[in-house]
Structure 1
């Protein structure tokens, strides 16, 4: 059965609002909730970037049923992997086993703030691979000493370990990242409905003797509103950065850079990329590309803080019914 999730979009809402939305999303019937982990919004119009881990700790206590994910945390620059391991173990305890640690190689937008530059994609993948190995070691509860190519760990131990081990999900975008991370992570994260990537992930895991219940977790933006013109305007104002694709999105360092890069993106271009307006069937059609590509879990991003409560109160329940009926 396909599971449907709600995105706690830290770039567009403040921390107290995010916790309220998390509670409402659980009550309306979403299966899981994912949180972005940003130091900066994509565009100034979004206007927020609270600390994801603080928010998730509050969400863990405010909710009871929904699974929780980071989507995604970069454990290589802004955070040392030893700190990510501690954060994840603590959050898993607070969430009573409902948390999955989603990891990725990051975006310049968030990681440049610590003044360490921005490595090439090959180096970022190598750093992420080493970080995952360190996190896995720390999750054993043993004392860890590590001296690798990118990180050092000196006599570190996690003193509070959850009864339910923290599963790891890795964000991938190409053949090399699939080959690198399929043997290291439990689950796959991808933001494009790419059947070939999903099949390659399963093939790579089988090739190393790994099996088990592998989840494929995707995400898609939507902009529901009773008025389509309002929805298109909101999506263009706050989500036109999405048109650049991840090869571009990973490398731009500032909101000003994203504003400049997207200055010629028209509202109709945004509407072509994102389902906008009151038509729930059109949203279902857009989301269906993911389960057809083999995704087991699909998180929705309702664009914009304005209208978020109305989406949860009026549209989310009927939309979930339609999605579950269509996905079978």
Structure 2
């Protein structure tokens, strides 16, 4: 199982993201994930740079693969524009760029005032969006009049030698079926072997499966819990709230349901590598080919150094 590093655009400045990427590559991480948000989950996280600018900058400082985890190409940015951005990113990264996609969250996608569709409709939109992008990556002029998207005589001129791979994030059975059918790979943040088996049985076969989790390096476990809870209590918000809440303020309100002890139980906190080993083993046992670790808080250099010593 390959170990990669996860860049959280919600929490770090562009300069910090570039610094982390460089240090991660130097430490021996094999690849990078990067999140794509318009808003952070809460004001305490405090950042949200434009992911495509960061991906371009990364091409100048690292040579390891980069995957978006994940981009939503259905509302905030039209799939034709996402297709152009992904093609340019693949050129800049010499073909080492992967477009990870999903059906998104209202937090980021509602900002233009469009109605937030139900889950099944978003999944339908995602499938058509991927179809549009792949048409454009063939290099011909494209005119498309679909149920959700229109493209009028558009052509992408700057193209990589091979079209970008598209990995699809999915959790429910309908989404898993779509991911297995249209995806070049699968993305999940849960070390759930049943999801991996269902993806493979539904047609995913031996396509790559990527997973990821967050940890919080700190001098003590208690300090780590405090930091993780202050910055990322939203990770414990239950059910479908993460898909439907429209603003960081709403996540701050919903996060009041999450206690510090819940954070302690769900996030690996502190300086001990044992908890990270358990998480890595859980993903490996579940059948993941790659797993990505993100840091919460200011001690990302210490977390990267710990992985250099213990795991890489």
Q: TM-score normalised by the shorter chain: which range applies? A: over 0.9
Matches of 1:163 and 1:170, distance apart in 2: 22
- Using structure 2 for the length normalisation, give the TM-score: 0.97
Q: Which residue does the alignment assign to 1:317?
A: 308
8 Å contact kept, 2:237–2:258: no
Answering whether residue 232 of structure 2 is matched by residue 239 of structure 1, we say: yes
Give 1:73 deviation, angstroms.
0.4
Matches of 2:159 and 2:292, distance apart in 1: 28
Give 1:226 deviation, angstroms.
2.2
Answering whether residue 2 of structure 2 is matched by residue 3 of structure 1, we say: yes
* CA shift digits 1:59-82 (9 cap, x unpaired): 011112x11001000001011000
1:16 alignment partner, SS class: helix
Answering whether residue 258 of structure 2 is matched by residue 301 of structure 1, we say: no
Give 1:250 deviation, angstroms.
1.1
Answering whether residue 214 of structure 2 is matched by residue 215 of structure 1, we say: no
Answering whether residue 270 of structure 2 is matched by residue 272 of structure 1, we say: no
Give 1:311 deviation, angstroms.
2.4
Runs of 4+ more than 6 Å apart: none
Matches of 2:229 and 2:222, distance apart in 1: 11
Q: Which residue does the alignment assign to 1:54?
A: 53
Length, aligned pairs only: 312
* CA shift digits 1:165-210 (9 cap, x unpaired): 311100001111111231111000111122122111112226xxxx
8 Å contact kept, 2:237–2:257: no
8 Å contact kept, 1:29–1:320: no
Give 1:287 deviation, angstroms.
2.5
Give 1:245 deviation, angstroms.
4.3
Matches of 1:6 and 1:19, distance apart in 2: 12
Answering whether residue 18 of structure 2 is matched by residue 19 of structure 1, we say: yes
Q: Which residue does the alignment assign to 2:116?
A: 118
Matches of 1:186 and 1:245, distance apart in 2: 29
Alignment of 1:1-328 (within 5 A): 2-64=1-63, 66-205=64-203, 214-245=207-238, 247-304=240-297, 306-312=298-304, 314-321=305-312
1:220 alignment partner, SS class: strand
8 Å contact kept, 1:73–1:106: yes
8 Å contact kept, 1:90–1:162: yes
Give 1:94 deviation, angstroms.
0.4
**For structure 2, which runs of at least 5 residues remain unmatched after alignment?**
none
Give 1:246 deviation, angstroms.
6.0
Matches of 1:164 and 1:291, distance apart in 2: 29
Distance 1:282 1:181, change over 3 A: closer
Matches of 1:5 and 1:221, distance apart in 2: 12
**For structure 1, which runs of at least 5 residues remain unmatched after alignment?**
322-328
